[in-house]
Amino acid sequence: MEHRLTPLSPLMLVGTGSDVGKSVLCTALCRIFLQDGYRPAPFKAQNMALNSYATPDGLEIGRAQAVQAEACGLEPAADMNPLLLKPNSEHTTQVVLGGRPVGNRSAYDYFRREGREELRTAVHAAYDRLAERYNPIVMEGAGSVSEVNLRESDLVNMPMARHADARVVLVADIDRGGVFASCYGSIMLQTPEDRSRIRGIIINKFRGDIRLFEEGRRMIEDLCQVPVLGVVPMFRDIVIDEEDSVALERKNRQPAQGRTNVAVVLLRHISNFTDFGVLERDERANLFYTNNVSDLEQADIIILPGTKATLDDLLHLRQSGVAQAILRAHKAGKTVVGICGGLQMLGQTVSDPDGIEGCIGQLPGLGLLPIHTTMTARKTTRQVEFRFAGQTCQGYEIHQGRSDNEEQIIMQDHCIGTYIHGFLDNAPVLDFLLREKPSRPAFPTLRDFREEQYDRLASHVRRHVDISKLYDILKL
């Protein structure tokens, strides 16, 4: 096809709000461009997420850009998400720049104008390096594109589109309602220059018969004077890793009969919940998320996941009775697994003498593993290999703090602890945990499964978005 030979402008997807599906649509377009012969790469100047990923060179980026890189057939790199914000609480956040933490900031200080130009210079430089090597760059905005009160300090939406000279497509979530107002308002609140960059609209998360929205589609085009490139139906049968904890609200919350019940403790600062995606799909298990003591009592396996605030979550576990429920379950012979922050909480003590996490200096852990943890300013981010049941497995580490037992996996009295994210993505680990159930049928490797899901997602979006018109918009 002719467009395969034509250099393309950068493309940016911005949203009428948060959680409208920008990340997943960017993933789809990354795969579509790759299928069509291009060499795309993802980019999000600034991300706010607790679900992150370690690159091969030991740097940290948002999980969404790692997924998008995989859809492009690339290894993830820090330039794809040069600025990552990891909230410590409602008021403070850890700032990760170029893949490395550079300190904690209050939200008020961060979003003031002072110091923003240094950050802007850094994210522009990261984009420029990517743009020299890849075409097209698939850019993702953040939150709502129409937050006019943040316009002067914005690094990620229209100011970034101006730097890249990108064509912009607005994504709206019809499922939450108000799609006409949100599309029109998002466009009309832009400056004339920025408004001219918005070349298309995608209506996302449609339920029902799309033919019933044909008149609505024409009305949006007349109202906004921008073409609607597609109306994309909601899907449930395509599995793409999500990075926003909003996705946890859609997860299973109940124990069930006939399978191994696996309870993931729903921490207030839970991070890297994608650790449980493979286990969710294993037919031997019923995985659910809960902080309800009575639900935990029905679990066969209890998992303490990663957290951005180990001490705060540990204190809350004790105050809510969840810690005591975990100890009772362990005493009754149930398996307890701790990953990253969960490992730290299962130890003897967690100390924070320098106030890295906040004002809690030290707490006793649950005492199930023989380790003591001290929070440190230095952060560990790396990809790792480990041996389990005689087989080589893969994962990655992202954690603050050091424990005095440096074994990759600590096992004692049907309790398992590890710093390794992706621990449960490995078949030998799952087979060990679910060993009393019949062997599962042969599954494709996790990599093959993900590749299949990216192709299915691309096919879904091709069916419902006018890709030819998108190419016409992007031709330089």
Mean pLDDT of 235-244: 83
Mean pLDDT of 320-349: 96
Fold of 2-240+452-474: Rossmann fold (3.40.50)
Residue 441 has pLDDT above 80, yes or no: no
At residue 280, φ and ψ (nearest 5 deg) are -60, -35
421 is catalytic: yes
pLDDT for 357 equals 87
> For the chain, what is the mean pLDDT?
91
Mean pLDDT of 335-353: 97
Mean pLDDT of 341-350: 97
DSSP string for 406-420? --SEEE-SSEEEES-
Q: Among 26, 340, 393, 415, which one carries the catalytic annotation? A: 340
Beta bridge mates, 192 = none
The tokens of 205 are what?
């998360």
Helix axes 446-464, 22-35, angle to 10 degrees: 90
Q: In this structure, are residues 145 and 157 in contact, taking their beta carbons and an 8 Å threshold? A: yes
pLDDT for 112 equals 65
pLDDT for 3 equals 45
Q: In this structure, are residues 361 and 383 in contact, taking their beta carbons and an 8 Å threshold? A: no
In the chain, % helix, strand, coil (3-state, to 5) comes to: 40, 30, 35
Mean pLDDT of 210-237: 94
Q: With the CA atoms of 341, 347, 352 and 357 taken in that order, what torsion angle do they form, in degrees rounded to the nearest 10?
A: 20
Q: In this structure, are residues 315 and 350 in contact, taking their beta carbons and an 8 Å threshold? A: no
pLDDT > 70 fraction of the chain, expressed in percent and rounded: 93
**pLDDT tens track for 371-407:** 999 999 889 999 999 999 999 999 999 998 999 988 9
Residue 438 pLDDT level (bands cut at 50, 70, 90):
very low
460 is catalytic: no
Widest pairwise Cα distance in the chain: 67
Q: Among 269, 330, 399, 421, which one carries the catalytic annotation? A: 421
Beta bridge mates, 339 = 418
Q: What whole-number distance in Å separates Cα of residue 225 and Cα of residue 173?
A: 19
Q: What whole-number distance in Å separates Cα of residue 330 and Cα of residue 368?
A: 9
- Pairs from 461-469 (Cβ < 8 Å, separation ≥ 24): 461/25, 461/28, 461/29, 461/32, 461/230, 461/232, 462/32, 464/210, 464/230, 464/231, 464/232, 464/233, 465/202, 465/229, 465/230, 465/232, 466/229, 466/230, 467/32, 468/3, 469/200, 469/227, 469/229
At residue 173, φ and ψ (nearest 5 deg) are -100, 105
**pLDDT tens track for 25-60:** 999 999 999 999 999 999 999 999 888 999 999 999
Question: What residues does CATH 3.40.50.880 cover in the chain?
Answer: 260-433
Cβ-Cβ contacts under 8 Å for 335 (sequence gap 6 or more): 300, 301, 302, 414, 415, 416, 433
Residue 248 pLDDT level (bands cut at 50, 70, 90):
low
What class has domain 260-433? alpha beta
Residue 428 pLDDT level (bands cut at 50, 70, 90):
very high
pLDDT for 250 equals 63
Question: What residues does CATH 3.40.50.300 cover in the chain?
Answer: 2-240+452-474
Residue 344 has pLDDT above 60, yes or no: yes
Nearest residue to 313 via CA among 330, 291, 337: 291
Q: What whole-number distance in Å separates Cα of residue 377 and Cα of residue 40?
A: 36
User: Between the CA of residue 452 and those of 162, 437, 445, 457, what are the distances in Å?
Assistant: 35, 27, 11, 9
pLDDT for 90 equals 61
Q: In this structure, are residues 60 and 381 in contact, taking their beta carbons and an 8 Å threshold? A: yes
**pLDDT tens track for 184-196:** 999 999 999 999 9
Nearest residue to 400 via CA among 371, 372, 379, 421: 379
